[in-house]
Amino acid sequence: MIGVLLPYVRKFQRSAESNDIVDRFSYQYTSTILGFSAIMMAASQYVGRPIQCWVPAQFTRTWEKYAETYCFIKGTYFLPGAFASEEEMSVTSPDGGVTASAQVGYYQWIPIILFVQAFLFYLPSIIWRTFNESCELKIKELAAVSEASRKIKSNMSDDQVKGRKFGRYFFKKLTFRNESPVFKETGKIVASGKFLPSLYLLVKILYLANIVLQFWILTYFLDTKSWLWGWQTFQDLVAGREWETTGIFPRVTMCDFSIMDLTTIHDHSIQCVIVINMLAEKVYVFFWFWLLFVGILTGCSLLYWTVMYMLQSVGRNFIYSYLQNTPSFEAEQEKGSQVPAHFVDNCLTADGVFISRLVQQNSGDLFTSIMLEEMFNLYRAREAEKAHKKNDDNALPPATAPLEIKDEEDDDIPLPPPTKAVAQLVSDDEDDDDDDDVDSPDTTATLPR
């Protein structure tokens, strides 16, 4: 069975490097846990016997199967204290009452609800991957390239080659996004330089909202009337209060049904054992604590990325920390140049700083340092070329306008006398014109006499 599911699990893990480890706790690890739990619960329900009932002796095998199927579909109810011993009844809950409803009808829906919960955990990841594909930076593609370079075992020189190659590729993407007029006109929001971190914060909020929704689903679905039922159940287990007293995931319940025999209706009350509740209790108690853990991580991650995005100085310090010991950066710092600040604000922008953080988390500090050094060198050379070209344009003398020819001045200037050859040529041309006019056969033929 594991061999059959393994290809789907690998597809499920695809694009894991386009976000941070906290997101993977939600959409990858939690969804996987819930998915396998749902499969396990469904197997125990629809393959085995999820419920077994004690029926009267006169019931045949067919009647027994009907009663069990009816009670499984309709639901059962729990009688508080009916199945507890005197010693167990002496250990009561702190509030002196039962913490669960008498009606037990949720176990039929456990596999379906688990699948829905798994999908809700995966939904923010779908939104993230769908919308960040519209950005020209192709964060999924960049993250995949950096991750592939990290996984391949190589020496120091190979790492430098890969890091510089990736830096050149990243710089070309940023240059096109920042300077392409077509891209700016068709995607103003995407080309603003703040699209990716804004979208990422929105997805983080969706992850946190999903945690809150999951707690509400557990409270409503299990009908526990308290968001802290997981902690209360754990305390009950530690104190020795089992399901016989608390009613949380009861193993033994009651079921009432009626059978019509011609004109007579026979009422029956039978006692049933719900085997699936033994497994459901462990799964949901673990899931409650897991939800609490993932919710705390998601809240801290949202706060972290919000601070990183809102404070521009934090982004600069992050980039400067990887450029600190490079010769080109130190040379610009000694001159008091604004090239480093312009590199972060105008070239990388908030999108580039965000992707650099993801590359650092996925590929390590060495790869990030080599990548940023290559990008800074390219930006520095490009700015120097622009400045040199601008200085050359300023050094050229202004272009002189063409002289206007005035008619008044031309009249005062005497023309030189025509030469004999020119005069003869002009007179010959005039004679030819006269001959053509007189001797034209078409013309003389039509003249009146």
In this structure, are strands 264-274 and 103-104 parallel, antiparallel, or unpaired? unpaired
- pTM confidence score: 0.70
Answer yes or no: are the C-beta atoms of 164 and 157 closer than 8 Å. Answer: no
Q: How far apart are CA 241 and CA 248, in angstroms?
A: 10
Give the pLDDT of residue 44.
78
- For residue 184, what pLDDT band results from cuts at 50, 70 and 90? low
Q: What are phi and psi of 253, to 5 degrees?
A: -135, 180
Tokens describing residue 210: 């999903």
Structural domains of the chain, ranges and CATH numbers in brackets: 15-136+188-308 (1.20.1440), 158-179+312-386 (no CATH)
**What is the CB neighbour count within 10 angstroms for residue 234?**
14
Using alpha carbons only, what angle is made at residue 436 by residues 430 and 441, rounded to the nearest 5 degrees?
170
- For residue 136, what pLDDT band results from cuts at 50, 70 and 90? low
Q: Which residue has the higher pLDDT, 182 or 82?
A: 182
Q: Which of 31-40, 116-125, 201-210, 215-224 is the least confident region?
A: 215-224
Q: Percent of the chain beyond pLDDT 90? A: 15
What is the mean predicted confidence (pLDDT) over 406-429? 43
- For residue 302, what pLDDT band results from cuts at 50, 70 and 90? very high
Phi-psi category of residue 59: left, alpha or beta, with phi > 0 → left and psi -120 to 50 → alpha: beta
Amino acid at position 43, single letter: A
Provide the angle, in degrees to the nearest 10, between the axes of the packed helices 2-12 and 31-46.
Answer: 150
Q: How far apart are CA 166 and CA 362, in angstroms?
A: 14
Q: Which residues pair with 76 in a beta bridge?
A: 104
Is pLDDT of 292 > 90?
yes
Q: Which residue has the higher pLDDT, 434 or 281?
A: 281
What is the mean predicted confidence (pLDDT) over 386-413? 55
Is pLDDT of 120 > 80?
yes
Q: How far apart are CA 164 and CA 169, in angstroms?
A: 9
What is the mean predicted confidence (pLDDT) over 198-208? 93
Give the pLDDT of residue 46.
75
Give the pLDDT of residue 88.
44
Q: How far apart are CA 412 and CA 408, in angstroms?
A: 7
Task: Classify 415 as helix, strand or coil.
Answer: coil
DSSP string, 431-445: HHHHHHHHS-HHHHH
Length of the chain: 449
Q: Which residue has the higher pLDDT, 29 or 163?
A: 29
What is the mean predicted confidence (pLDDT) over 84-96? 45
Tokens describing residue 156: 């120091």
Give the pLDDT of residue 296.
95
Q: Which of 17-21, 315-319, 370-374, 431-435 is the least confident region?
A: 431-435
Give the pLDDT of residue 418.
44
Give the pLDDT of residue 277.
80
Is pLDDT of 230 > 50?
yes
Q: Which residue has the higher pLDDT, 113 or 403?
A: 113
Is pLDDT of 69 > 70?
yes
Q: Which of 29-43, 108-122, 237-251 is the least confident region?
A: 237-251
Mean pLDDT of the chain: 74
- For residue 346, what pLDDT band results from cuts at 50, 70 and 90? confident
Give the pLDDT of residue 389.
79
| Cβ partners under 8 Å of residue 344, min gap 6 | 315, 316, 319, 320, 353
Is pLDDT of 390 > 60?
yes
Is pLDDT of 444 > 60?
no
- For residue 297, what pLDDT band results from cuts at 50, 70 and 90? very high
Q: How far apart are CA 63 and CA 321, in angstroms?
A: 76
